[in-house]
């Protein structure tokens, strides 16, 4: 692949969008390569994946405006669906994901970050959905995920005004979980990924699915989703290991992903 790198170190994977001449902007080839990487993520071996951008200036600066500028209505719908299908695949990936946002995260960059489970950023990060200033709406989930993360009123303000927000404001409104100096961001992401990876991976994956699925239904249906996830854990060897370690007062746990 030309623009997307995928590496696995132990049980932690990293996907890096690497198109520096365009500030890692998303064109069709980049999206296609992201899709191919997502197909490679194996939950039998990978317990957490970090998503980041190459360089120190940009996470993902947005979608490729030159490529979009010639679209008609049908082409716009198709382009939105292409990106949305891939970002939805990322969002529903069984493996937990951390966006390590190392600079500009505008438009499609903000949208791919919001498709990850957890977002942390460098102190030079800038977020925004600038689409209405280009005569379009957000097209890769921005109108839906931003409101779910930061609340409807704040999301409408950000989208309607096409305003950029800096790292400290993104943290204040809950768009990111933490802000780090640029030089410390990837180490922080790896440390967080390591904390996740040390826990029972099936239980983590089931927790992710229960949270995601439960938010789409009412509370009565949501607690049934949780009950089934909870019950499924008791069919695993990892549940026996985790509880045995607790009862035996063992700090070390040997989760086998089984």
What are the catalytic residues? 111, 131
What was the pLDDT predicted at 92?
97
Q: Is the pTM higher than 0.85?
A: yes
What was the pLDDT predicted at 63?
85
64 or 10, higher pLDDT: 10
pLDDT in tens, 62-110: 888 888 899 999 999 999 999 999 999 999 999 999 999 999 999 999 9
Q: How confident is the model over 143-169, as a mean pLDDT?
A: 97
Q: What is the DSSP string of 139-170?
A: -SSHHHHHHHHH-HHHHHHHHHHT-EEEHHHH
φ, ψ of residue 8 to 5 degrees: the values are: -125, 125
- Look up residue 150 and give its two tokens: 């930061």
Domains with residue ranges and CATH for the chain: 4-197 (3.90.226.10), 201-247 (1.10.12.10)
User: What CA–CA distance (Å, rounded) separates 253 from 246?
Assistant: 9
Q: What is the percentage of the chain residues whose pLDDT exceeds 70?
A: 100
pLDDT band (50, 70, 90) for residue 166: very high
Q: Is the pLDDT of residue 231 over 90?
A: yes
What was the pLDDT predicted at 134?
95
- Quick check: helix, strand or coil at residue 115? coil
User: What CA–CA distance (Å, rounded) separates 37 from 83?
Assistant: 14
Q: What is the DSSP string of 50-75?
A: EEEESSSSEEE--B-HHHHTT--HHH
| Contact of 166 with 126, CB cutoff 8 Å | yes
What was the pLDDT predicted at 66?
87
177, HSE (Cβ side, Cα atoms, 13 Å): 14
Q: Can you count the helices (H) and strands (E) in the chain? A: 11, 10
Q: Is the pLDDT of residue 247 over 90?
A: yes
Q: How confident is the model over 27-38, as a mean pLDDT?
A: 97
| Contact of 116 with 139, CB cutoff 8 Å | no
């Amino acid at each position: 692949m030309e623009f997307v790198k995928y590496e696995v170190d132990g049980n932690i994977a990293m996907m890096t969008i690497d198109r520096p001449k365009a500030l890692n902007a998303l064109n069709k080839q980049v999206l296609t390569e992201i899709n191919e990487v997502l197909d490679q993520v194996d939950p039998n071996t990978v317990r957490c994946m970090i998503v980041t951008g190459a360089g120190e200036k940009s996470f993902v600066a947005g979608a490729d405006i030159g490529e979009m500028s010639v679209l008609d209505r049908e082409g716009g719908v198709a382009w939105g669906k292409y990106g949305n299908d891939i970002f939805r695949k990322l969002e529903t990936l069984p493996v937990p994901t951390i966006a390590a946002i190392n600079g500009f995260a505008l438009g499609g960059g903000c949208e791919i970050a919001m498709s990850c489970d957890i977002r942390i950023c460098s102190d030079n990060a800038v977020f925004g959905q600038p689409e209405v200033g280009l005569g379009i709406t957000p097209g890769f989930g921005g109108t839906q995920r931003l409101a779910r993360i930061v609340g409807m009123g704040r999301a409408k303000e950000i989208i309607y005004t096409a305003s950029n927000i800096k790292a400290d404001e993104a943290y204040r409104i809950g768009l990111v979980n933490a802000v780090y100096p640029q030089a410390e961001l990837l180490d922080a992401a790896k440390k967080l990924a390591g904390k996740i990876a040390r826990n029972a991976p099936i239980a983590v994956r089931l927790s992710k699915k229960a949270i995601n699925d439960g938010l789409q239904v009412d509370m009565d249906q949501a607690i049934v989703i949780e009950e089934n996830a909870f019950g499924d854990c008791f069919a695993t060897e990892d549940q026996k290991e985790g509880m045995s370690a607790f009862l035996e007062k063992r700090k070390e746990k040997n989760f086998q992903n089984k």
